[in-house]
C-alpha cells in the first residue's frame, strides 16, 4: 500500500485515518496542528502523539519532502527557490519581502501548481517545456512550509502571509489540489492565511472559471490577457483557440456577478506588438463595465523568444497613462527579479538543459 502524505490531508481525513488505526479522535487535532501549524518535516518530531501512534504513522504515512537545490537573490531583493521533488522533478517559487510601514510589511510567495504546463503560451519559459505532471496538495503546500522554515532559520519573524498561484503551471488545470491547498492555508488551525490574500492566476480555462465562480470562493482572480483581440491573443496563447475573448469575458463577468470581486488582468507589454494606441481602444471596449485592474508587466525576456522585446520605461509609462485616460485602472507591475531569470520556469529550464 502506498504511504499517505500527511501534508495533503484535511482534519476530517486525518480523523478517518486515525480511526482506521484504532486511535482516539482527539489525536487528529494534535496531528493537524503538528503538520499544518508547526509544519514539521519528520514524523518523529511530533513527540506528544505517543510511541505507538508514531510507529503506526511511520509505517503508513509520509510527509512530502523537497530539497532546496538552488536559491538566487535578485538585486531588487526578490528571492527565487528551485526545489527538487522526491521523483527528481524541479519546481520554482519566488519570495517577495515587502518592507516599509509596519502595517504594510508582508512576505508574498509565488508558488507553482504543476511541473511544466500544457498551455503552450509562446512567451513563457514554463510553456516552452511542455507538461510533466500535476503537483499534489502536499507539494503545493510544501513550497509555503519550506520557505517558512527558511525564513525562520534566517530570523525573519514574518511567515508567508500572501500566496499567489503565478509560478509554474496552470492552476485551473489542477483545481482540486489547488482548492484543497487554499483551504488548508486558510484553516484557523493552520497558517490562517486570509482567503483574500490568495490570488489564482489563469490563462483563461473558461469552464473552470465558471466552476470557481459558482463556489463563491473569495480568492482574488487574475486573468492573463496579454492581447486585446482574438487574432493577436491566439497567436501567442493557444488557449484562445478553445475559449476566445468573448467566452473569456463572459466568464469574467459571471465571476464578478457571483463574487463581487474585482478582477486583475495581467498584460505582458511587448514592444511593437500590443503597446499601440489602437490596443488601448480595444482594451477599453473589451473591459467596459467590468470592475477590474490592469497589471502592465514589461515582458520578461526568455530564451528562444527574441521576437518578444521589452518596451523601454518611457513607452511603458505612456501606455499606462493612455489606459488611465481611457478610464481604465492600470499600473505597472515591475517584473521582479529579471536578473535572476524572474519569470517562473526559467531556472528550471536552465537546470534541465544541464
Ligand atoms: N498559468 C497561469 C499562472 C502562471 S503564469 C497563467 O498563465 O496565468 C504567471 C504569469 O506570468 C501569467 O500572467 C503569465 O502570462 C506571465 N508570464 C509568463 N511568461 C512571462 C514573460 N516572459 N514575461 C512576462 N510575464 C510572463
Ligand atoms: Fe502555462 Fe501560464 Fe506559462 Fe501560459 S503563461 S504556458 S498558462 S504557465
Kindly report, residue by residue over 221-247, the tens digit of the pLDDT: 999 999 999 999 999 999 999 999 999
Q: CB of 227 closer than 6 A to ligand 2?
A: no
Separation between Cα atoms, residue 102 and residue 27, nearest integer Å: 38
Per the listing, cell 510507529 goes with 55
Q: In 263-299, which positions are buried (b, 16+ CB within 10 angstroms) versus exposed (e)? A: bbbbbbbbeebbbeeebbebbbebbeeeebebbbbbb
Quick one: pLDDT at residue 75?
85
Quick one: pLDDT at residue 344?
57
pTM of this prediction? 0.95
Ligand nearest the Cα of residue 171 is 1
Q: CB of 18 closer than 6 A to ligand 1?
A: no
Q: CB of 268 closer than 6 A to ligand 1?
A: yes
Right CATH number for 67-353 from 1.10.540.10, 3.90.180.10, 3.40.1410.10, 3.20.20.70? 3.20.20.70
Question: Which residues have CB under 8 Å from 270's CB, separation 6+?
Answer: 123, 299, 308, 309, 310, 311
**Which residues sit opposite 330 in a β-bridge?**
294
**Is residue 347's pLDDT more than 60?**
no
Cα dihedral sign, 336-275-311-121:
positive
Q: How confident is the model at residue 84 (pLDDT cuts 50, 70, 90)?
A: very high
Residue intervals in the chain for CATH 1.10.150.530: 4-62
Between the CA of 289 and the centroid of ligand 1 the distance, in Å, is: 25
Q: CB of 82 closer than 6 A to ligand 1?
A: no
Q: Are 345 and 131 in contact (CB under 8 A)?
A: no
CATH for 4-62 is 1.10.150.530
Question: Which of 118, 132, 173, 203 to mutate for ligand 2's pocket (most ligand atoms within 8 Å of CB)?
Answer: 203
Catalytic residues: 92, 344
Which residue has the CA at smallest separation from atom 24 of ligand 1?
Answer: 299
Residue intervals in the chain for CATH 3.20.20.70: 67-353
Amino acid at each position: 500500500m502506498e504511504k499517505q502524505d500527511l501534508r495533503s490531508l484535511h482534519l476530517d481525513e486525518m480523523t478517518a485515518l486515525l480511526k482506521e488505526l484504532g486511535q482516539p479522535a482527539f489525536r487528529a487535532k494534535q496531528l493537524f496542528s503538528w503538520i499544518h501549524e508547526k509544519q514539521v518535516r519528520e514524523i518523529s518530531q511530533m513527540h506528544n502523539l505517543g510511541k505507538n501512534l508514531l510507529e503506526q504513522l511511520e509505517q503508513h504515512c509520509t510527509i512530502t519532502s523537497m530539497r532546496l537545490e538552488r536559491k538566487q537573490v535578485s538585486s531588487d531583493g526578490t528571492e527565487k527557490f528551485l526545489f527538487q521533488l522526491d521523483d527528481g522533478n524541479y519546481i520554482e517559487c519566488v519570495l517577495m519581502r515587502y518592507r516599509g510601514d509596519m502595517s504594510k510589511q508582508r512576505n508574498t510567495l509565488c508558488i507553482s501548481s504543476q511541473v511544466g504546463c500544457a498551455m503552450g503560451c509562446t512567451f513563457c519559459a514554463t510553456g516552452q517545456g511542455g507538461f510533466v505532471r500535476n503537483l499534489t496538495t502536499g507539494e503545493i503546500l510544501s513550497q509555503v512550509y519550506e520557505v517558512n522554515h527558511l525564513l525562520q532559520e534566517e530570523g525573519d519573524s514574518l511567515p508567508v502571509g500572501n500566496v499567489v498561484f503565478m509560478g509554474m503551471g496552470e492552476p485551473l488545470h489542477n483545481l482540486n489540489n489547488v482548492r484543497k491547498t487554499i483551504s488548508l492555508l486558510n484553516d484557523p488551525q493552520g497558517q490562517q492565511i486570509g482567503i483574500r490574500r490568495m490570488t489564482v492566476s489563469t490563462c483563461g480555462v473558461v469552464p473552470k472559471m465558471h466552476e470557481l465562480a459558482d463556489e463563491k470562493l473569495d480568492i482574488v482572480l487574475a486573468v492573463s490577457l496579454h492581447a486585446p483581440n482574438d487574432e493577436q491573443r491566439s497567436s501567442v496563447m493557444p488557449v484562445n483557440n478553445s475559449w476566445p475573448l468573448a467566452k473569456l469575458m463572459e466568464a469574467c463577468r459571471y465571476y464578478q456577478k457571483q463574487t463581487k470581486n474585482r478582477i486583475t488582468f495581467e498584460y505582458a507589454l511587448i514592444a511593437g506588438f500590443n503597446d499601440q494606441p489602437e490596443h488601448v481602444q480595444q482594451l477599453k471596449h473589451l473591459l467596459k463595465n467590468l470592475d477590474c485592474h490592469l497589471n502592465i508587466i514589461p515582458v520578461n525576456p526568455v530564451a528562444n523568444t527574441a521576437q518578444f522585446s521589452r518596451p523601454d520605461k518611457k513607452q511603458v509609462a505612456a501606455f499606462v497613462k493612455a489606459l488611465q485616460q481611457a478610464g481604465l485602472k492600470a499600473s505597472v507591475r515591475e517584473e521582479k527579479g529579471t536578473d535572476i531569470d524572474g519569470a517562473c520556469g526559467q531556472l528550471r529550464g536552465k537546470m534541465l538543459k544541464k
